[in-house]
Amino acid sequence: MVSFAPYAAAREQPKGADMNNDFIEIRGLCLPRRMVLQGLASLLGCAFAPSTLSAAVQSCALTTSDIIGPFYRFGAPFQTKLAGPNEPGERLIISGKVYGSDCRSYLPNTLIEVWQANNAGQYDTDKPGNFTERVDFHLRGMMLTDQQGNYEFETIMPGRYPVPPNLPGLEKYAGLMRPAHIHFRVSEILHVPLTTQLYFKGDPNIAHDPWARSKPSMAIDLKQDGKFLHGNLDIVLDNSQAPPS
């Protein structure tokens, strides 16, 4: 066990020391930053240097949430090939991992729902908010991550479309052309469910979109891989509301 006892008397910050860089205050005690980080590394069973651990903590961020949009429908089939062979559009593969909030723990058996417009910007329904409409599912699917938290699905590049008129709460955005995007809902039993949208770097509509423009981390690069475009999106879920173990 790491002991902080030798530093119990160090209640005053040394003159000239920068609290943000040299010392950390814990329950009224002013402790050297390096000692605290070394203690955390030992408790976590890590062999990280303090600078490495500090950088890892600072770079770990939860995946940004987004609106669900008007065309979500519950009950899409379990499938990882969303687009059939005759579906118009550029072929696209999206893959990634789902992590816990420490950005290190893989989350197996996580449920991922995805849905999108076709290459003409049309969904399989034109009835916003009708989540249980009984029509065939198209360009939608559900899947589970594997034991290492991996997921992958095949689809086509979604088309852009204008925000429909008369959507409750979104009336002022009617006619605004949205950037190409794919919707995600990600659920794991011990983590807060996430609803978000994936965008694509270089899309000129991102800069004017009230949702996409504030989420640069959700815009990914695409690389050509044979006949497919390939993109990667890793997802980090929040477990702050998980019950105690």
Q: Where are the domains of the chain?
A: 5-59, 91-236
Interacting residues of 162 by C-beta distance below 8 A, sequence separation 6+: 174, 175, 176, 177, 178
Mean pLDDT score, 183-195: 96
Q: What is the pTM of this model?
A: 0.74
Contact, 234 vs 97, CB < 8 A?
Answer: yes
CATH architecture of the domain with range 91-236: Sandwich (2.60)
Q: How far apart are CA 141 and CA 136, in angstroms?
A: 12
Check pLDDT > 70 for residue 215. Answer: yes
Mean pLDDT score, 52-68: 72
Greater pLDDT, 104 or 4: 104
Contact, 2 vs 42, CB < 8 A?
Answer: yes
Check pLDDT > 80 for residue 79. Answer: yes
The model's confidence at residue 15, banded by pLDDT at 50, 70 and 90, is very low
Name the amino acid, one letter, at 223: K
Q: How far apart are CA 157 and CA 119, in angstroms?
A: 6
The model's confidence at residue 131, banded by pLDDT at 50, 70 and 90, is low
Burial class of residue 168 (count of CB atoms within 10 Å of its CB; 0-12, 13-18, 19+): exposed
Name the amino acid, one letter, at 83: A
Interacting residues of 3 by C-beta distance below 8 A, sequence separation 6+: none
The catalytic residue positions are: 123, 161, 178, 181, 183
Q: State the pLDDT at residue 188.
A: 96
Q: How far apart are CA 198 and CA 139, in angstroms?
A: 15
Mean pLDDT score, 107-118: 98
pLDDT, tens digit, 9 for 90 and up, residues 135-181:
789 999 999 999 999 999 999 999 999 998 888 888 999 999 999 99
Q: How far apart are CA 191 and CA 237, in angstroms?
A: 6
